[in-house]
Amino acid sequence: MGNFLKFFLKYFLGRFIVCLLVIFVGITITFLIPRLIPGASPAEVAVRRVQMAGSYLPPESVEKLRDELLRLYGLEGSMFQQYFTYWRELLKGNLGPSFASFPTPVITLIYRSLPWTVGLLVLTAMLSWGIGTVLGGIATYRSKSLWVKIFEILSNAVRPIPYYIFALALLIIFAYILRWFPAGGAFQIGIEPSFSWVFLKSVLKHGFLPALSLVIIGIGAWFLNMRNLTSNIIHEDYVVFAKQMKLKESLILRSYIMKTAMPAQLTGLALQLGTVFSGTIITEIVFNYPGLGTLAFTAIMQSDYNLVMGITLCSIVSVAFATLFVDLLLPFIDPRIQYTGGTS
């Protein structure tokens, strides 16, 4: 109990406060930016669009419209009053209505897109990380093998290719030339979303190409990263000593080499998973996938400030907590890292 209290007070509590402070600062900046940009008020933009569309409104109707929009978007009063209203509504989970999809709440649009992004990115991130990390560790120990040399050449060849070029190449080959997979979307039009096999099969078929593009690029990146980490570890004294002690190669690879490199790999994975709430914009646009990336791009193009702010807030919170999670996890993985005031 004493060690846990020390851990809580001297390690967790401080880092948790820093995490909350990062979120607070990020949300405050997100609040300020659209309000400091001249002419960026959603109310003014809406009024201008109505007037540009050729709709004639008497001056009193324009003022009523402006006042109602100011109320809806929390833009009434001074900057301090707006800030207080912003936090009050935010703590209630109210991000306001979407400007482009008025009057649909922003949180509703995010909830609709979130499962697609999480399903795609979490699965591909875990898969590419696992395969790339294992292959990278084995490649260091089997550096003279033919498959290692071939895989390293392929990884280095794919790495400098811009992602959108690679994604478009897959789309052209498999969707337009071979016609093995759909060219876009999340599932076939006309199928009712449900837990049926027909719907699941359609989702898997539509998600295969975007997932494949992310996995191939991800495996290459994680492979090279693990290869670089373990290429130095393999020459450490404890690894050399383990070899001289005639320990099993699998044991040396698993417990001496890969375990030492794992903290850096896990840190990268956790931070990558933390960005899942911002979506992968290029992937989702290329494959017309209805995730948060597509939603964010559409919101930016339509000047939907509330929706942009909502997605940004989700990204800030997820990255902050992912960083906190890594900070708490690393001492359990690597005994060299000690909790301040506690045990490892």
97 by DSSP, 3-state: which? strand
The predicted-structure confidence for 176-203, as pLDDT tens digits, reads as follows 888 888 887 777 777 777 777 888 888 8
The predicted-structure confidence for 223-279, as pLDDT tens digits, reads as follows 888 888 888 888 788 878 877 887 787 788 878 788 888 888 888 888 787 776 655
Same domain membership, residue 142 and residue 7 = no
pLDDT at 21 exceeding the cut of 90: yes
Same domain membership, residue 142 and residue 84 = no
Same domain membership, residue 145 and residue 223 = yes
For the chain, the average pLDDT equals: 80
pLDDT at 344 exceeding the cut of 50: no
Same domain membership, residue 151 and residue 84 = no
Give domain status of residue 103, yes or no.
no
Higher pLDDT, 276 or 307: 307
Same domain membership, residue 71 and residue 177 = no
Within 10 angstroms of residue 325's Cβ, the number of other Cβ atoms is 16
Same domain membership, residue 170 and residue 133 = yes
The predicted-structure confidence for 136-174, as pLDDT tens digits, reads as follows 888 887 777 888 888 888 888 887 778 778 888 888 988
Same domain membership, residue 194 and residue 83 = no
Mean pLDDT on 203-229: 87
pLDDT at 336 exceeding the cut of 80: no
Same domain membership, residue 290 and residue 148 = yes
CA dihedral 72, 102, 284, 218 (to 10 degrees): 20
Same domain membership, residue 147 and residue 57 = no
| Spatial CB neighbours of 166, under 8 Å, sequence gap ≥ 6 | 158, 213, 216, 217
Domain boundary among 29, 58, 91: 91
**Tally of structural domains, the chain:** 2
Cis peptide upstream of residue 103 (ω within 30 degrees of 0): yes
Both tokens assigned to 33: 């930016």
Both tokens assigned to 87: 């936090």
Which residue range(s) make up the domain with 31?
2-91
Same domain membership, residue 114 and residue 68 = no
Mean pLDDT on 53-74: 68
Same domain membership, residue 116 and residue 70 = no
Give domain status of residue 213, yes or no.
yes
Residue 229's CATH number: 1.10.3720.10
Give domain status of residue 228, yes or no.
yes
Q: Which long-range contacts (CB under 8 A, 24 or more apart) does 335-344 make?
A: 337/263, 339/7, 339/10, 339/11, 340/10, 340/11, 341/6, 341/7, 341/9, 341/10, 341/11, 342/3, 342/4, 342/6, 342/7, 342/10, 342/11, 343/3, 343/7
Same domain membership, residue 258 and residue 144 = yes
Give domain status of residue 96, yes or no.
no
Domain boundary among 91, 123, 141: 91
**Which pLDDT band, with edges at 50, 70 and 90, does 343 fall under?**
very low
